[in-house]
Chain A
Amino acid sequence: MEAVVFWFAAALAVAGALGIVLQRNPFYSVLALVVHLIALAVLFLLLRAEFLAAAQVIVYAGAVMVLYVFVVAYVGGLEDPLTEPSPALRALAVVFCVALLAELSVAIAGSGLKALDTHGPELEAGFGSPAQIGELFLTRFLIAFELVSLLLLIAAVAAVVLARREPETSSRPQPDRGLARERQVF
Protein backbone atom coordinates (compact mmCIF):
# COMPACT_ATOMS: atom_id res chain seq x y z
CA MET A 1 0.00 0.00 0.00
CA GLU A 2 2.78 2.39 0.97
CA ALA A 3 4.70 1.52 -2.19
CA VAL A 4 1.63 2.22 -4.36
CA VAL A 5 1.14 5.65 -2.76
CA PHE A 6 4.85 6.41 -3.08
CA TRP A 7 5.08 5.57 -6.78
CA PHE A 8 1.87 7.42 -7.57
CA ALA A 9 3.02 10.56 -5.75
CA ALA A 10 6.52 10.29 -7.20
CA ALA A 11 5.16 10.01 -10.75
CA LEU A 12 2.89 12.98 -10.13
CA ALA A 13 5.78 15.05 -8.73
CA VAL A 14 8.03 14.28 -11.70
CA ALA A 15 5.19 14.96 -14.14
CA GLY A 16 4.56 18.30 -12.45
CA ALA A 17 8.25 19.18 -12.60
CA LEU A 18 8.45 18.29 -16.31
CA GLY A 19 5.27 20.28 -16.92
CA ILE A 20 6.86 23.38 -15.35
CA VAL A 21 9.92 23.17 -17.57
CA LEU A 22 8.19 22.20 -20.83
CA GLN A 23 5.10 24.46 -20.83
CA ARG A 24 5.42 27.53 -23.01
CA ASN A 25 2.80 29.52 -21.11
CA PRO A 26 3.93 30.61 -17.62
CA PHE A 27 0.37 30.27 -16.31
CA TYR A 28 0.38 26.52 -17.02
CA SER A 29 3.83 26.32 -15.41
CA VAL A 30 2.36 27.73 -12.20
CA LEU A 31 -0.53 25.24 -12.29
CA ALA A 32 1.97 22.37 -12.81
CA LEU A 33 3.87 23.67 -9.78
CA VAL A 34 0.68 23.33 -7.69
CA VAL A 35 0.38 19.65 -8.75
CA HIS A 36 4.05 19.12 -7.93
CA LEU A 37 3.75 20.69 -4.47
CA ILE A 38 0.70 18.64 -3.50
CA ALA A 39 2.46 15.43 -4.62
CA LEU A 40 5.43 16.42 -2.46
CA ALA A 41 3.10 16.96 0.50
CA VAL A 42 1.92 13.34 0.08
CA LEU A 43 5.56 12.20 0.13
CA PHE A 44 6.13 14.23 3.31
CA LEU A 45 3.19 12.42 4.91
CA LEU A 46 4.75 9.08 3.95
CA LEU A 47 7.95 10.24 5.69
CA ARG A 48 5.98 11.02 8.87
CA ALA A 49 6.31 14.81 8.56
CA GLU A 50 2.69 15.76 9.25
CA PHE A 51 3.25 19.39 10.16
CA LEU A 52 5.53 19.96 7.18
CA ALA A 53 2.96 18.47 4.80
CA ALA A 54 0.25 20.76 6.17
CA ALA A 55 2.57 23.78 5.95
CA GLN A 56 3.47 22.81 2.38
CA VAL A 57 -0.17 22.76 1.29
CA ILE A 58 -1.23 25.88 3.20
CA VAL A 59 1.83 28.12 2.74
CA TYR A 60 3.00 27.01 -0.71
CA ALA A 61 0.02 25.71 -2.60
CA GLY A 62 -2.10 28.34 -0.87
CA ALA A 63 -0.32 31.64 -0.32
CA VAL A 64 2.75 31.56 -2.57
CA MET A 65 0.84 30.17 -5.53
CA VAL A 66 -1.78 32.91 -5.26
CA LEU A 67 1.08 35.42 -5.45
CA TYR A 68 2.47 33.68 -8.55
CA VAL A 69 -0.89 33.51 -10.30
CA PHE A 70 -1.51 37.17 -9.49
CA VAL A 71 1.83 38.30 -10.92
CA VAL A 72 1.40 36.12 -14.04
CA ALA A 73 -2.02 37.66 -14.60
CA TYR A 74 -0.61 41.16 -14.00
CA VAL A 75 2.45 40.86 -16.22
CA GLY A 76 0.95 38.44 -18.74
CA GLY A 77 2.06 37.64 -22.30
CA LEU A 78 5.56 36.52 -21.41
CA GLU A 79 5.62 33.42 -23.54
CA ASP A 80 7.25 34.92 -26.63
CA PRO A 81 10.99 35.27 -26.07
CA LEU A 82 12.84 38.17 -27.63
CA THR A 83 15.76 36.09 -28.83
CA GLU A 84 15.70 32.38 -29.47
CA PRO A 85 18.63 30.59 -27.79
CA SER A 86 20.86 28.51 -29.98
CA PRO A 87 19.93 24.79 -29.97
CA ALA A 88 23.55 23.90 -29.18
CA LEU A 89 23.43 25.86 -25.92
CA ARG A 90 20.12 24.29 -24.97
CA ALA A 91 21.46 20.78 -25.65
CA LEU A 92 24.55 21.64 -23.61
CA ALA A 93 22.34 22.64 -20.67
CA VAL A 94 20.44 19.34 -20.84
CA VAL A 95 23.70 17.36 -21.05
CA PHE A 96 25.02 19.28 -18.04
CA CYS A 97 21.93 18.45 -16.00
CA VAL A 98 22.00 14.75 -16.94
CA ALA A 99 25.62 14.73 -15.75
CA LEU A 100 24.45 16.43 -12.53
CA LEU A 101 21.82 13.72 -12.01
CA ALA A 102 24.38 10.96 -12.61
CA GLU A 103 26.77 12.60 -10.18
CA LEU A 104 24.11 12.94 -7.48
CA SER A 105 23.08 9.29 -7.94
CA VAL A 106 26.69 8.17 -7.60
CA ALA A 107 27.01 10.32 -4.48
CA ILE A 108 23.90 8.72 -2.96
CA ALA A 109 25.01 5.19 -3.85
CA GLY A 110 28.56 5.79 -2.67
CA SER A 111 27.69 7.56 0.57
CA GLY A 112 27.99 4.30 2.52
CA LEU A 113 25.05 5.14 4.79
CA LYS A 114 23.81 1.80 6.09
CA ALA A 115 20.27 3.01 6.79
CA LEU A 116 19.63 3.98 3.15
CA ASP A 117 18.17 0.57 2.27
CA THR A 118 15.83 0.48 5.27
CA HIS A 119 12.52 2.11 6.06
CA GLY A 120 14.15 4.09 8.85
CA PRO A 121 13.88 3.34 12.58
CA GLU A 122 10.61 2.79 14.43
CA LEU A 123 9.28 6.14 15.60
CA GLU A 124 7.30 7.18 18.64
CA ALA A 125 3.74 8.43 18.22
CA GLY A 126 4.34 12.20 18.22
CA PHE A 127 7.06 12.32 15.53
CA GLY A 128 6.71 15.31 13.22
CA SER A 129 3.68 16.63 15.04
CA PRO A 130 3.21 20.40 15.55
CA ALA A 131 3.99 19.92 19.26
CA GLN A 132 7.40 18.43 18.58
CA ILE A 133 8.29 20.94 15.84
CA GLY A 134 7.22 23.84 18.05
CA GLU A 135 9.22 22.56 21.00
CA LEU A 136 12.36 22.20 18.87
CA PHE A 137 11.85 25.68 17.43
CA LEU A 138 11.65 27.23 20.89
CA THR A 139 14.53 25.29 22.44
CA ARG A 140 17.33 24.04 20.17
CA PHE A 141 16.62 26.18 17.12
CA LEU A 142 15.57 29.40 18.85
CA ILE A 143 18.18 31.61 17.15
CA ALA A 144 17.30 30.28 13.69
CA PHE A 145 13.62 30.85 14.47
CA GLU A 146 14.19 34.49 15.45
CA LEU A 147 16.47 35.14 12.46
CA VAL A 148 13.89 33.70 10.08
CA SER A 149 11.19 35.96 11.48
CA LEU A 150 13.51 38.93 10.90
CA LEU A 151 14.12 37.71 7.33
CA LEU A 152 10.38 37.58 6.66
CA LEU A 153 10.01 41.17 7.90
CA ILE A 154 12.87 42.31 5.64
CA ALA A 155 11.34 40.52 2.65
CA ALA A 156 7.94 42.12 3.27
CA VAL A 157 9.47 45.62 3.44
CA ALA A 158 11.56 44.90 0.32
CA ALA A 159 8.48 43.81 -1.62
CA VAL A 160 6.65 47.02 -0.69
CA VAL A 161 9.66 49.17 -1.70
CA LEU A 162 10.17 47.32 -5.00
CA ALA A 163 6.57 47.23 -6.13
CA ARG A 164 5.54 50.78 -5.22
CA ARG A 165 5.16 53.42 -7.91
CA GLU A 166 7.96 55.93 -8.35
CA PRO A 167 6.73 59.21 -6.82
CA GLU A 168 8.51 61.55 -9.29
CA THR A 169 7.21 59.86 -12.45
CA SER A 170 3.62 59.96 -11.28
CA SER A 171 3.75 63.57 -10.00
CA ARG A 172 5.83 65.12 -12.78
CA PRO A 173 3.13 65.42 -15.47
CA GLN A 174 0.66 67.06 -13.12
CA PRO A 175 2.28 70.54 -12.81
CA ASP A 176 2.62 70.75 -16.61
CA ARG A 177 -1.01 69.83 -17.08
CA GLY A 178 -2.00 72.38 -14.45
CA LEU A 179 0.07 75.04 -16.19
CA ALA A 180 -1.54 74.20 -19.52
CA ARG A 181 -4.98 74.47 -17.98
CA GLU A 182 -4.11 77.88 -16.51
CA ARG A 183 -2.87 79.05 -19.91
CA GLN A 184 -6.15 77.92 -21.42
CA VAL A 185 -8.07 79.83 -18.80
CA PHE A 186 -6.13 83.03 -19.30
Chain B
Amino acid sequence: MDIVWYLVLSALIFSIGAVGVLTRRSPLVVLICLELMLNAGNLALVAFARMTGTADGQIFALIVMIVAAAEVVVGLGLIVAMYRNRVPMDVDELSELRG
Protein backbone atom coordinates (compact mmCIF):
# COMPACT_ATOMS: atom_id res chain seq x y z
CA MET B 1 0.00 0.00 0.00
CA ASP B 2 1.17 3.53 -0.71
CA ILE B 3 2.20 5.56 2.31
CA VAL B 4 -0.26 8.32 1.44
CA TRP B 5 -3.24 6.10 2.26
CA TYR B 6 -1.98 5.60 5.79
CA LEU B 7 -1.68 9.38 6.19
CA VAL B 8 -5.21 9.96 4.84
CA LEU B 9 -6.55 7.33 7.23
CA SER B 10 -4.67 9.01 10.07
CA ALA B 11 -6.21 12.39 9.19
CA LEU B 12 -9.68 10.81 9.06
CA ILE B 13 -9.30 9.19 12.50
CA PHE B 14 -7.94 12.46 13.91
CA SER B 15 -10.98 14.36 12.64
CA ILE B 16 -13.41 11.78 14.04
CA GLY B 17 -11.66 12.11 17.40
CA ALA B 18 -11.94 15.89 17.22
CA VAL B 19 -15.70 15.60 16.58
CA GLY B 20 -15.97 13.44 19.69
CA VAL B 21 -13.99 15.85 21.87
CA LEU B 22 -16.13 18.78 20.73
CA THR B 23 -19.58 17.19 20.89
CA ARG B 24 -19.61 14.64 23.72
CA ARG B 25 -20.54 15.71 27.25
CA SER B 26 -19.14 13.01 29.50
CA PRO B 27 -15.51 13.61 30.53
CA LEU B 28 -14.88 9.87 30.22
CA VAL B 29 -15.85 9.81 26.54
CA VAL B 30 -13.85 13.00 25.94
CA LEU B 31 -10.79 11.16 27.32
CA ILE B 32 -11.45 8.21 24.99
CA CYS B 33 -11.71 10.57 22.01
CA LEU B 34 -8.43 12.22 23.00
CA GLU B 35 -6.94 8.74 22.93
CA LEU B 36 -8.29 8.37 19.40
CA MET B 37 -6.54 11.56 18.29
CA LEU B 38 -3.24 10.46 19.86
CA ASN B 39 -3.52 7.14 18.04
CA ALA B 40 -4.06 8.92 14.73
CA GLY B 41 -0.84 10.82 15.38
CA ASN B 42 0.90 7.53 16.15
CA LEU B 43 -0.24 6.05 12.84
CA ALA B 44 1.18 9.04 10.95
CA LEU B 45 4.49 8.74 12.84
CA VAL B 46 4.83 5.04 12.00
CA ALA B 47 3.91 5.71 8.37
CA PHE B 48 6.65 8.34 8.15
CA ALA B 49 9.10 5.92 9.76
CA ARG B 50 8.28 3.42 7.00
CA MET B 51 8.64 6.13 4.38
CA THR B 52 12.11 7.22 5.49
CA GLY B 53 13.29 3.70 6.30
CA THR B 54 14.52 4.65 9.80
CA ALA B 55 13.03 3.52 13.10
CA ASP B 56 13.09 6.98 14.71
CA GLY B 57 9.40 7.53 14.06
CA GLN B 58 8.60 4.27 15.84
CA ILE B 59 10.48 5.55 18.90
CA PHE B 60 8.38 8.74 18.81
CA ALA B 61 5.20 6.67 18.54
CA LEU B 62 6.25 4.54 21.50
CA ILE B 63 6.89 7.65 23.61
CA VAL B 64 3.50 9.08 22.57
CA MET B 65 1.95 5.80 23.72
CA ILE B 66 3.61 6.12 27.14
CA VAL B 67 2.55 9.76 27.51
CA ALA B 68 -1.01 8.72 26.57
CA ALA B 69 -0.95 6.03 29.26
CA ALA B 70 0.16 8.62 31.84
CA GLU B 71 -2.60 10.97 30.68
CA VAL B 72 -5.21 8.25 30.99
CA VAL B 73 -4.10 7.41 34.53
CA VAL B 74 -4.31 11.04 35.68
CA GLY B 75 -7.58 11.66 33.81
CA LEU B 76 -9.29 8.59 35.22
CA GLY B 77 -8.00 9.52 38.69
CA LEU B 78 -9.64 12.93 38.28
CA ILE B 79 -12.90 11.31 37.16
CA VAL B 80 -12.92 9.01 40.21
CA ALA B 81 -12.21 12.02 42.47
CA MET B 82 -15.07 13.95 40.81
CA TYR B 83 -17.41 11.02 41.35
CA ARG B 84 -16.42 10.82 45.04
CA ASN B 85 -16.99 14.54 45.58
CA ARG B 86 -20.40 14.48 43.83
CA VAL B 87 -19.26 16.87 41.11
CA PRO B 88 -21.62 16.76 38.09
CA MET B 89 -20.17 14.63 35.28
CA ASP B 90 -20.57 17.15 32.50
CA VAL B 91 -17.74 19.01 30.82
CA ASP B 92 -19.84 22.18 30.52
CA GLU B 93 -20.42 22.23 34.28
CA LEU B 94 -16.69 21.82 34.91
CA SER B 95 -15.72 25.29 33.80
CA GLU B 96 -14.09 26.41 37.06
CA LEU B 97 -10.82 25.44 38.67
CA ARG B 98 -11.54 25.34 42.40
CA GLY B 99 -9.71 23.24 44.97
Q: Which A residues lie at the B interface, using CB under 8 A?
A: 2-3, 6, 10, 13-14, 17-18, 20-21, 26, 29-30, 33, 36-37, 40, 43-44, 46-49, 51-52, 55-56, 59-60, 63-64, 67-68, 71-72, 74-75, 78-79, 81-83, 85, 90, 93-94, 96-98, 100-101, 104-105, 108, 113, 115-121, 123, 127-128, 132-133, 136-137, 140-141, 144, 148, 151-152, 154-156, 158-159, 161-163, 165
Contact = CB atoms under 8 A, between A and B. Distances in A.
B6 A43 contact: yes
A75 B31 CA distance: 14
A51 B62 CA distance: 9
Given A21-B23, A49-B61, A14 B9 contact: yes
Q: Main SS of the interface on chain B?
A: helix
B71 to A, nearest CB: 8
Given A75-B83, A98-B15, A49 B59 contact: no
B96 interface: no
A29 B51 CA distance: 33
B53 A117 contact: no
A21 B37 CA distance: 12
Nearest to B15: A101
* Chain A to chain B: the 10 pairs with minimum beta-carbon distance, closest first: A162-B77, A155-B70, A93-B22, A104-B11, A101-B15, A21-B20, A121-B53, A159-B77, A81-B25, A17-B16
Contact of B70 (A49, A56, A151): A151
Contacts of A56: 65
B92 A83 contact: yes
Contact of B2 (A63, A83, A116): A116
